């Protein structure tokens, strides 16, 4: 059996195909020169996703028992704060694109009525609100993919107002992925947990690739990459 750290390292290595495929889809989307309307819809979805992450992580912090390791409490609190910052940054990007102030409540309501695919929606699907190992796996995989995607967007966008903000978000997402890696290495040190999380991660990768295709565009090369890596 692998140690917890070895198990996490295996997941990290096997995530690479998903991350690269997602970057291919993102680059193709921005290279297609999407309309302002399409860009705003795209970024509203990302803004709402950051808010969903903020709410969920903040709820996790509030529910932690009194004997929680203070360092763990600090790390999760930092992540909740980061997600709030990301929410603001993407709002500013939308306003930069449109030249007008965004009605956040109306945007959130419109997104709820016609939702785009969001990684944060997987928190409920995989019961990460109540399963610490599942939450750590989500942080490791989904936040790691987010780092790759935000970095790719930063590279694709010539506007420095947008690209610098997206590079900042990418850096934070990488930090959040490391929080998940740290916690999962602690929790996944028995065969039953490793078996359960391995299956969860395999399913999560498929969901995240589907989200990538829905939010950007499905590129044959990206599909071939994940098919070869994961047998889809």
Could you state, in order of their start, the residue ranges of all structural domains in the chain? 4-226
Instruction: Among 17-21, 71-75, 112-116, name the one with the lowest average pLDDT.
Output: 112-116
Distance from C-alpha of 56 to C-alpha of 129, rounded to nearest angstrom: 7
- Reading the block at residue 222, the tokens are 């990206």
Q: Give the pLDDT confidence score for residue 115 in this predicted structure.
A: 80
Distance from C-alpha of 24 to C-alpha of 126, rounded to nearest angstrom: 26
CA 89, chain centre distance (Å):
16
Alpha helices for the chain (secondary structure H): 4-31, 36-63, 70-98, 104-113, 122-125, 132-138, 144-156, 160-187, 191-215, 220-230
Each residue of 161-214: pLDDT tens digit?
A: 999 999 999 999 999 999 999 999 999 999 999 999 999 999 999 999 999 999
Tell me the CA end-to-end span of the chain in Å, nearest whole number.
26
Distance from C-alpha of 175 to C-alpha of 177, rounded to nearest angstrom: 5
- 4-226 is a CATH 1.20.910.10 domain: yes
Distances (CA, A) of 220 to 20, 26, 217, 225, 230: 13, 13, 10, 9, 15
Q: Give the pLDDT confidence score for residue 229 in this predicted structure.
A: 98
- Whole-model pTM: value is 0.90
Q: Give the pLDDT confidence score for residue 134 in this predicted structure.
A: 95
pLDDT average, residue stretch 75-99: 96
Q: Give the pLDDT confidence score for residue 111 in this predicted structure.
A: 86
Q: Nearest to residue 184, comparing CAs of 56, 2, 4, 3?
A: 4
For residue 84, the number of C-alpha atoms closer than 13 Å in the C-beta half-sphere is 9
The pLDDT of residue 117 is above 80: no
Q: Give the pLDDT confidence score for residue 116 in this predicted structure.
A: 79
Mean pLDDT over the full length of the chain: 94
pLDDT average, residue stretch 225-231: 97
- 141-151: b (≥16 Cβ within 10 Å) or e: bbbbbbbbbbb
Q: Do 48 and 118 form a contact (C-beta atoms < 8 A)?
A: yes
């Amino acid at each position: 059996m692998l140690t917890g750290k070895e198990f996490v390292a295996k997941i990290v290595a096997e995530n690479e195909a998903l991350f690269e495929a997602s970057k291919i889809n993102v680059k193709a989307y921005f290279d297609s020169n999407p309309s302002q309307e399409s860009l705003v819809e795209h970024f509203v979805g990302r803004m709402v996703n950051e808010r969903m992450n903020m709410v969920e992580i903040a709820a996790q912090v509030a529910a932690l028992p009194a004997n929680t390791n203070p360092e763990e409490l600090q790390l999760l609190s930092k992540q909740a704060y980061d997600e709030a910052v990301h929410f603001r940054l993407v709002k500013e990007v939308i306003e930069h694109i449109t030249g007008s102030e965004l009605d956040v409540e109306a945007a959130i309501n419109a997104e709820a009525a016609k939702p785009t695919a969001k990684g944060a929606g997987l928190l409920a699907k995989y019961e990460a609100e109540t399963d610490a190992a599942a939450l750590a796996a989500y942080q490791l995989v989904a936040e790691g993919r987010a780092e790759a995607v935000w970095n790719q967007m930063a590279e694709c966008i010539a506007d420095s107002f947008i690209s610098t903000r997206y590079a900042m978000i990418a850096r934070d997402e990488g930090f959040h992925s490391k929080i998940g890696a740290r916690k999962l290495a602690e929790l996944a040190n028995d065969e039953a947990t490793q078996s359960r999380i391995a299956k969860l991660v395999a399913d999560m990768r498929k969901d995240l690739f589907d989200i990538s295709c829905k939010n950007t565009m499905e590129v044959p090369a990206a599909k071939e990459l994940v098919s070869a890596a994961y047998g889809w």
